[in-house]
Structure 1
Amino acid sequence: MAVQPEGTPCWADAMFGDLEGAKSFYGDVLGWTFGESSSEYGNYTQAYADGKAVAAVVPPMPGQEGPSQWCLYFASPDAAATAAKIRENGGELLMEPMQVGEFGTMCLAREPSGAVFGVWQAGAHEGFEATAVPGAYCWAEVFTREPEKTDAFFPAVFPYTAKQIHDEAIDFRMFNLGDQTVVGRMKMTDDFPPEVPSYINVYFTVDNCDDAVAKATKLGGVLRFGPMDSPFGRFAAISDPQGANFSVIDITTTSGDMPNIKDVP
């Protein structure tokens, strides 16, 4: 896949204290195989679905041990310029733009409601080699308790327009690049324990949602929500054995009417 337009989700990785455990879990649940760990880059290890790079896992650097979580990266033609916009619009830089060999330039940030994300300026590594196929990234949503902050921030940093789903049951917004919807925003309800901070929930595609859930729970994962049918696919939210949240979705099994979506002025 070529370099993605600015603001497109283009890569995902996660830090795991038990790297081998993570490889075993995701290998079974998502069918991933893994490349060689790159000792030059902190044992960064790419994950592959059917031979295509779809994500990466990495052990924590000394002093960076903490809860595991998936980090979604957004494409940028200029990571330094994006970092400046993040600062100007109330975000916090957790890692200044840093060149990663010939692969590209990255930074890590926290948006004003607390969700952590990455920015990736592609070099030799352009990002996902496949999306929306079994084992690959499909979709992501910013889960936030303060949607007004998130809604102001992302279109100020990236060239997004916004649409809102009109449904009394949920507060859900979608950010678009042109005609393409690239990321969603969900207001967290009281169903979420108060200690759970805002975060970006990453969806990986699977052949069969129920089978993926059964594998995940058998291996020590925790089912958080679903499986549930939707017009977009049958999906479920899971926490892996090391606490990283993610979702699985079978996009071939759809049900129900598409929601009422309106432009945000």
Structure 2
Amino acid sequence: MGIVPAGTPCWTDLATPDLADARRFYPELFGWTGRVAPEPEAGGYTDFLRHGQAVAGAGPPAIPEQVPIWSIYVAADDADLVAGRVEEAGGQLVVPPFDVFDRGRMAVLSDPAGATLCVWQPLTMPGGEVFGVPGAMSWTELVTPDPEGAKIFYELVFGWQPDEQPTGSAGHTGWRLGSQIVAGMTTPLGDFPPGAPGYWSVYFGVTDVDATAARAAALGGAILVPPRDTAAGRCTALRDPQGALFNAITPP
């Protein structure tokens, strides 16, 4: 069993062509330590730990032309069952369910607007072991040009219900699973390229957003959106040295 209930984001990992530099950049930024998978077939896949607890991972890209990207994983009791709903709901099954050693079973899917995310059925590896604290995944959000299509898709696949403006912020929707808001959704900014696919974004908690942004730039990354106050907290959008996008947030 995982740490979080089925239908809840439970893990995030980075696919990057320069795993060695990711092992440098993120520990220096967030204070993480790394634990490399022992299996040669894992390609050096690394769990990032916060005080000994797993919070994120990083590994080589699945295909050489894959752009560096952080991916979101949603916990499932049965990855095959979830995967079976995807095409009926209007999405695509990008990678059918497969076993990841003895750690778990996963699949990769995309929603009708092209946003990809993963399903994780935990076995020996539950996913993240701590959430919502500095240095750990604190929020995930879908950025999509097709929010109405997303509402249909994610309800059919994960049982999520849209909760309009959960933080009082116009244009934002919360994804509710039972009594809990488990993720968010927003529409793209005005400069979003026409026809570009939607995407899932990850937010890591920090104690000082401004200092984190400055530190990321000093370590070779870039500040895409300077620190700003929002209804959800003070946040910034960043890019790592290889081009992967991520966010840092301090809740209000």
Q: Calculate the TM-score normalised by the size of structure 1.
A: 0.89
Shift of the 196–37 alpha-carbon distance from structure 1 to 2, 3 Å rule, reads farther
Contact 1:145 1:189 in 2 (8 A): no
Give the structure 1 partner of residue 22 of structure 2: 22
Kindly indicate whether the alpha-carbon contact (under 8 Å) linking 2:15 and 2:69 is maintained by their aligned counterparts in 1.
yes
Asked whether 1:179 is paired with 2:179, we answer: yes
Contact 2:72/2:117, CA 8 A, preserved across alignment: yes
Q: CA deviation at 1:164?
A: 0.7
Q: Secondary structure at the residue paired with 1:35? A: strand
Within 2, Cα distance between the matches of 1:35 and 1:169?
Answer: 38
TM-score by length of 2: 0.93
Note if 1:106 corresponds to 2:114.
no
Aligned letter for 1:47? F
1:218 match: 218
- 8 Å contact kept, 2:134–2:204: yes
What residue is the counterpart of 1:189 in the other structure?
189
What's 1:77 paired with?
77
Instruction: Give me the whole-angstrom Cα distance separating, in 2, the residues matched to 1:186 and 1:154.
Output: 14
Moved over 6 A (4+): 166-169
**Counterparts of 1:106 and 1:137 in 2: how far apart (Å)?**
19
Name the counterpart of 1:258: none
Q: Is the 8 A contact 1:239 1:246 kept in 2?
A: yes
Unaligned runs of 5+ in 1: 255-265
Question: How does 1:94-173 map onto structure 2 within 5 Å?
Answer: 94-165=94-165, 170-173=170-173
Amino acid at match of 1:110: S
1:42 aligns with 2:68: no
CA distance in 1, matches of 2:49, 2:166: 37
Contact 1:49 1:134 in 2 (8 A): no
Q: Which amino acid aligns with 1:229?
A: D
8 Å contact kept, 1:116–1:199: yes
**Identity between Structure 1 and Structure 2 (%):** 37
Q: Secondary structure at the match of 2:190?
A: coil
Other structure's SS at 1:173 match: strand
The 2-side partners of 1:144 and 1:102 are apart by 34
Backbone CA RMSD of aligned residues = 2.0
Deviations 1:79-130 (A, max 9, x none): 0010011111111111110011221100011111111100001101111111
Query: Deviations along 1:117-149, whole A, 9 cap, x unmatched?
Result: 000011011111111111100001001111121
Following superposition, the deviation at residue 221 of structure 1 comes to 1.8
